Amino acid sequence: MNLHTQEPETINVVICDDSVTNVLIIAEILKSIDMELNVTKITDPRKVMNELDSQVTLLILDLEMPYFTGYEILEKIRTLYSPEKLPVIVVSGLSDQKSQIKALKSGANDFICKPFNEYELKLRVINQLNIMNAFKLQSRLNHELEKRVQLRTFELEQATECLVNKLAMVAEMHDENTGQHILRVGKYSGVLARKLGLTELVSYMIEKAAPMHDMGKIMIPDEILFKPGKLSESEHLVMKQHVVKANDLFDDHPSMMIQMAKSIAVYHHEKWDGSGYAKGLKGHSIPIEGQIVGLVDVFDALTTERPYKHAWTIEDSVQYLKDQSGSHFDPKLVNLFVEHLPEILEIKAAFPEKAL
Kindly list the structural domains of the chain, giving each domain's residue range(s) and its CATH number in brackets, ordered by start: 3-145 (3.40.50.2300), 175-350 (1.10.3210.10)
State residue 138's pLDDT score: 83
Average pLDDT over all residues of the chain: 87
Model confidence pLDDT, tens digit, residues 208-227: 999 889 888 888 888 888 78
d(CA 20, CA 89): 18
State residue 1's pLDDT score: 39
Helices 288-302 and 314-323 pack at an angle, to 10 degrees, of 140
The answer to whether the CB of 314 falls within 8 A of the CB of 320 is no
Q: Which of 187, 208, 217, 262 is catalytic?
A: 217
Tell me if residue 230 is catalytic. Answer: no
Angle ∠(285,265,280) on CA atoms, nearest 5? 35
Whole-model pTM: value is 0.57
For residues 128-138, average pLDDT: 85
Give 225 or 5, the one with higher predicted confidence.
225
d(CA 131, CA 344): 59
